Structure 1
Amino acid sequence: MTDIDIRPAVVDDIPAIVAMLADDALGAARESPDDLGPYLVAYERLQSDPHQFLMVAMRGDMLVGTLQLSVIAGLSRRGSTRSVIEGVRVHGSERGRGLGQQLIEWAIEESRRQGCQLVQLTSDAARPDAHRFYERLGFVGSHVGFKYQL
């Protein structure tokens, strides 16, 4: 996979990122690729925060993967800094070729570079294949997550 370039997302990447977010049953129910307005506002918020990293994986000029990494300072765990990986997606044409692992490895290494002591992520309970993937990479299913819809 050496022909993959992982770089920060630019505004022109937003349509392709949103298309990947919507490219499964869960995403199709919660994303709106036909209305990019909210995503563009969110992109600007991310760009203005130095602790947010919206990344894309490129194969040549084709966007084939994405993830968001958030770095969070905290008091717990003796004042540890942690990172949270969100929105990991790999284009359908690239699945099973190691790109997901490459993205997660990038996020772990960047977390180390940012001084984080912990990398965490959540994965929807309806995604058992993703859970096996993260466990294979060394993540441990240690907590039960809760969400409150506003």
Structure 2
Amino acid sequence: MALLADDDLGRGREGTDPAPYRAAFATIDADPNQIFCVADRDGEIVGMQQITFIPGLSRKGAWRGMIEAVRVARHRRNEGIGGRMIEWAIAECRSRGCSLVQLTSDRTREEAHRFYDRLGFTASHVGYKMTL
């Protein structure tokens, strides 16, 4: 919860009640097409991400890996943690036969966009969301 709320955007949309996060984690943990992982440095959780494995019809029935909720603790940024996390996620997607890896990032997260650009991702699509 703390990592999700560790910036202006997250502070405005995340809560402090742990119950919905516990329920979400239980759902993720029970789904074989989901991985939630954390980065640990000397017993401190300093990063997190979620990977969803999505079967598809396009690209000849290709599987894709969707990386979400990538966070590195503010005081541990620029130490290479995020890059190692994404490299691990890409390797995990390859090992599961994914043909591509994708992610989304809020338009306001310009620093994150530069980070993903440096890692070789391209801003190839326009995304849309609808809050329900």
Cα separation, 1, equivalents of 2:2 and 2:48: 11
Q: 2: distance between equivalents of 1:92 and 1:25? A: 12
Q: Which residue of 2 aligns with 1:62?
A: 44
The TM-score normalised by the length of structure 2 is 0.98
Name the counterpart of 1:28: 11
For structure 1, list consecutive stretches of 5 or more residues without a partner in the other structure: 1-17
Secondary structure at the counterpart of residue 117 of structure 1: strand
**One-letter code of the match for 1:50?**
P
Q: Which amino acid aligns with 2:9?
A: L
In percent, how many aligned pairs have the same letter? 52
Cα-Cα RMSD = 0.6
Deviations 1:31-70 (A, max 9, x none): 01x2011011101100110110000000121111000000
2:126 aligned with 1:144, yes or no?
yes
Moved over 6 A (4+): none
Count, aligned residues:
132
Question: Please, which runs of 5 or more residues in structure 2 have no aligned partner?
Answer: none
Amino acid at match of 1:133: F
Q: What amino acid sits opposite 2:60 in the alignment? A: R
